[in-house]
Amino acid sequence: MKRYFQDVLVLARKDLLLELRARDTVPAMLLFVIAAFVTFHFALPSQSSDLAAKGLLWVALVFTALLGLTRAFVAERNERLLDGLLLAPCDRSAIWLAKGVAVVAFLAIAEVVALPAFSIFFSGVDGATIAGAVLADVGIAAVGTLLAAMASVSRARELLLPLLFLPVAIPVVVGGVGASVVDNPGRYLGFLALYDGVFAILSWASFEYVVTE
């Protein structure tokens, strides 16, 4: 068990180090989310309520996550790194968990910038929205990492991931928007936690089949 988490830690460290050196995913996500907010400002008619802006916040977050996820397995694919990882004496699900941890880290960095930017541009962000974003990050990373691994095997690659990811991400949007706009966000946060649990277990158990023959 301890060994497993050591493997995860080493693999996640590799992903974070790669990003720290190349810096190609996180800056793109940050720029994208700000650009999306600016676009939304011009997309929203002047009389629209804060509620509409809150809905668009979640659209921006999901698409930013999608942008990060399309890059998640680029190194593994281009440099044939995945073959090496599969040969390493570690559990295959550790690869998924490490990649998921890295994706959560990228999303968290993007949101640390995006949520204050949203509150400056549109309206204040409450605790429930932040809690919703944290729970949504976990779910998005769990499902998204698995789907990104699937898409990286296919010929269509970047084209395919949004098609696979968005239908699965609809419940995340429902939970997130619900947590942001209603007075008692408990049910929505509970739903997001349920989503995280169910899809994390499923993805953890099935990742091995996606990367092996």
Partner 1 sequence: MSTWLRNNQLIALAGGAAGLVSAAVALIFFYAPVDRDGLNQKIFYFHVPIAFTAYVCFGWGAWKALRHLWKRSPGADLESYVAIHQGVIFGALTLATGSLWAKVRWGHWWVWSERQLVLFLVLFLFYSAYFMLRFSIEEGPQRANICAVYAIFGVVLIPISILAIRLAENFIHPIAFNKHGPQMATSQFATFCVALAAMLVLAGALYRLELAGKRLDAQLRELREALA
Burial of 77 from C-beta contacts in 10 A (0-12 / 13-18 / 19+):
middle
* Residue 188 in the binding site for partner 1 (CB under 8 A): yes
Of the listed pieces 8-16, 36-44, 103-111, 191-199, which binds partner 1 according to CB under 8 A? 191-199
Q: Are 199 and 139 in contact (CB under 8 A)?
A: yes
Min separation Cβ 21 and partner 1, Å: 30
Residue 209 CB, nearest approach to partner 1 (Å): 4
**Neighbour-count burial for 112-150, b at 16+ CB within 10 Å, e otherwise:** eebbebbeeebeebeebbebbbbbbbbbbbbbbbbbbbb
In whole angstroms, the minimum distance from the beta carbon of 203 to partner 1 comes to 9
How many residues form the binding site for partner 1 (CB under 8 A)? 34
95 scored as a contact of partner 1 (CB under 8 A): no
Task: Tell how far CA 117 is from the center of its chain.
Answer: 19
Q: How far is the CB of 160 from partner 1 (least distance, A)?
A: 6
Is the separation of the CB atoms in 75 and 18 below 8 Å?
Answer: yes
Per-residue binder mask for partner 1 (CB under 8 A), 131-150, x = binder: ---------------x---x
Q: Which amino acid is at 107?
A: L
Are 11 and 75 in contact by the 8 Å Cβ rule? The answer is: no
156 binds partner 1 (CB under 8 A): yes
| 86: contact with partner 1 by CB under 8 A | no
Rounded to the nearest 5°, which phi and psi values hold at 49? -85, 170
170 binds partner 1 (CB under 8 A): yes
Q: Which residues bind partner 1 (CB under 8 A)?
A: 146, 150-151, 153-156, 160, 163-164, 166-168, 170-171, 174-175, 177-178, 181-182, 187-188, 191, 194-195, 198-199, 202, 206, 209-210, 212-213
